[in-house]
Amino acid sequence: MALSDHPAERHRQVAGLFTDRVRGTRSWDAPSPVTGWTARDVVRHLVEWLPGFLASGSGVVLPPGPSVDDDPVAAWQAHRDGVQEVLDDPETAHRELANPHIGTVPLDTAIDRFYTADVFMHTWDLSRATGQDDRLDPDFCARLLAEMESMEEVLRSSGQYGPRVEVPVDADVQTRMLGLIGRDPFWRGPVSRTP
């Protein structure tokens, strides 16, 4: 299924796939491809970083949800619903987010560019950690790869991405995107199985 170009709908699609992987997780302590993170930590990252980013840059406050430690599924679903509510709100079209690193951008664009893309990429982490289907939309992989390659130096200097992992020159677009963001596309955890 091709992903929408509209931020609200794209979030619905991307977060929907991540929700499927969250619900399919059997071991929250399974190691993930992100060094030092478990499956639970992947969810924790997505649930915890966006609220501060939105509140400080736009004044939007997401409703608090359950703790990821107590119930990662409920924590994710509450967070997902809160973000979707913001994106579906007609007033969001008139709001902006200001941040010293990115300037001032439309709120829905900021969520799409920084958060929805993050959920998309971390879907692979959770899928691979828990032995689920880790295939991502190839067109969106290609789009993110092109955007990030054009600003690779900025990405590296942000500290948010690990060193590039070299992949075969004829690798598919998902493998190349993963290598760019510092993931070993061939990583296998102890509970992983071939999809």
So what's the pLDDT on residue 181?
Answer: 93
Q: Is residue 192 part of a domain?
A: no
- On whether both 123 and 177 belong to a single domain, the answer is no
- On whether both 52 and 79 belong to a single domain, the answer is yes
- On whether both 57 and 92 belong to a single domain, the answer is yes
Please name the residue that has the structure tokens 């296998």.
188
- On whether both 27 and 111 belong to a single domain, the answer is yes
- On whether both 173 and 113 belong to a single domain, the answer is no
- On whether both 80 and 157 belong to a single domain, the answer is no
- On whether both 29 and 59 belong to a single domain, the answer is yes
Does residue 155 surpass a pLDDT of 80? Answer: no
- On whether both 26 and 122 belong to a single domain, the answer is yes
- On whether both 19 and 99 belong to a single domain, the answer is yes
Q: What is the mean pLDDT of residues 187-194?
A: 65
Angle CA 79–73–160, to nearest 5: 60
- On whether both 69 and 153 belong to a single domain, the answer is no
Structure tokens at 84: 């979707």
- On whether both 131 and 158 belong to a single domain, the answer is no
Q: Is the pTM of this model over 0.85?
A: yes
Phi, psi of 186 (to 5 degrees): -105, 10
- pLDDT band of residue 1 (cuts 50, 70, 90) is low
Count of residues in the chain:
195
- The count of other CB atoms within 10 Å of the CB of residue 77 is 17
- On whether both 25 and 84 belong to a single domain, the answer is yes
Q: Domain limits at 146? A: 137-185
Q: Is residue 164 part of a domain?
A: yes
Q: How many Cα atoms within 13 Å fall on the side-chain side of residue 124?
A: 24
Q: What is the mean pLDDT of residues 85-93?
A: 96
**Distance between CA atoms of 79 and 81, rounded to whole angstroms?**
5
Residue 136 in contact with residue 120, Cβ under 8 Å?
Answer: yes
Q: What's the CATH code of the domain at 21?
A: 1.20.120
Count of structural domains within the chain: 2
Q: What is the mean pLDDT of residues 137-151?
A: 93
Q: Is residue 146 part of a domain?
A: yes
So what's the pLDDT on residue 163?
Answer: 87
Residue 18 in contact with residue 124, Cβ under 8 Å?
Answer: no
Does residue 132 surpass a pLDDT of 80? Answer: yes
Q: Model confidence over 97-131: pLDDT tens digits?
A: 999 888 999 999 999 999 999 999 999 999 999 99
Picking from 148, 147, 150, 140, the residue whose alpha carbon sits closest to that of residue 173 is 140
